Chain A
Amino acid sequence: MSRAEPGASRLYHRVVVWLLFVILVLPLAGTFLYSIATEWSASLLPSGLTGKWYLQLWADPRFLYAFGHSLVVCVSALLLATVLILPLLFVVHYHFPKLDGLMNVLILLPFAVPPVVSSVGLLQLYGSGPLAMTGTPWILIGCYFTVALPFMYRAITNNLQAIHLRDLMDAAHLLGASTWQAALLVVLPNLRKGLMVALLLSFSFLFGEFVFANLLVGTQYETLQVYLNNMRNSSGHFNSALVISYFFFVLVLTWAATLLNKDRSE
Chain B
Amino acid sequence: MSFVNVENLQKHFAETPVFKDINFSIERGEFITLLGPSGCGKSTLLRCIAGLTPVDSGSILLDGRDLVPLSPQKRDIGMVFQSYALFPNMTVQQNVAFGLRMQKVKAEESARRVAEVLHMVELDSFAQRYPHQLSGGQNQRVALARSLVTRPRLLLLDEPLSALDARIRKHLREQIRAIQQELGLTTIFVTHDQEEALVMSDRIFLMNKGNIVQSGNAQSLYTAPADAFAAGFIGNYNLLDADSASRLLQRPVHTRLAIRPEAIGLSLSGAQEAEIRSHSLLGNVIRYRVEARGVELLVDVLNRSAADLHPNGQRVSLTIAPEALCEVA
Contacts and interface: CB of A to CB of B under 8 A. Distances in A.
Contact of A174 (B78, B86, B87, B88): B78
Contact of A163 (B71, B79, B88, B98): B88
Contacts of A174: 50-52, 72-73, 75, 77-79, 147
B157 to A, nearest CB: 13
Given A175-B102, A176-B150, A164 B72 contact: no
B24 interface: no
Interface in A163-191: 163-164, 167-168, 170-178, 181, 185-186, 189-190
B89 A170 contact: no
Given A190-B87, A265-B130, A265-B133, A175 B150 contact: yes
Of A163, A171, A181, A189, the most chain B CB neighbours within 10 A belong to: A171
Nearest to B50: A174
A177 B88 contact: no
B85 A171 contact: yes
A164 B102 contact: no
Given A175-B146, A176-B99, A265-B133, A170 B79 contact: yes
A171 B156 CA distance: 12
A168 B130 contact: no
A176 B103 CA distance: 7
Contacts, number: 65
B303 interface: no
B133 A176 contact: no
B81 interface: yes
Contacts of A186: 87, 89
B85 to A, nearest CB: 4
A132 to B, nearest CB: 45
Interface size class for chain B? 20 to 34
Contacts of B130: 265
Interface string A50-90: 00000000000000000000000000000000000000000
Contacts of B99: 175-176
A173 B52 contact: yes
A171 B102 contact: no
B246 interface: no
Interface string B307-324: 000000000000000000
A192 B88 CA distance: 12
Contacts of A177: 73, 98, 102
A171 B89 contact: no
Given A176-B73, A176-B103, A265-B130, A171 B79 contact: yes
B217 interface: no
B244 interface: no
A171 B133 CA distance: 20
B138 interface: no
A186 B87 CA distance: 6
Contact of B83 (A164, A172, A173): A164
Interface in B256-292: none
10 contacts: A164-B83, A167-B81, A170-B81, A171-B81, A174-B50, A174-B51, A174-B79, A178-B73, A181-B102, A265-B130
Interface of B: 50-52, 71-73, 75, 77-79, 81, 83, 85-89, 98-99, 102-103, 130, 132-133, 143, 146-147, 150
Across chains A and B, which 5 residue pairs bring their CB atoms closest together, nearest first? A176-B102, A175-B99, A167-B85, A189-B89, A171-B85
Given A167-B83, A170-B85, A176-B103, 18 more contacts: A163-B88, A164-B83, A168-B87, A170-B52, A170-B81, A171-B87, A173-B52, A173-B72, A174-B72, A174-B78, A174-B79, A176-B150, A177-B102, A185-B87, A186-B89, A190-B87, A190-B88, A265-B130
Interface of A: 163-164, 167-168, 170-178, 181, 185-186, 189-190, 192, 265
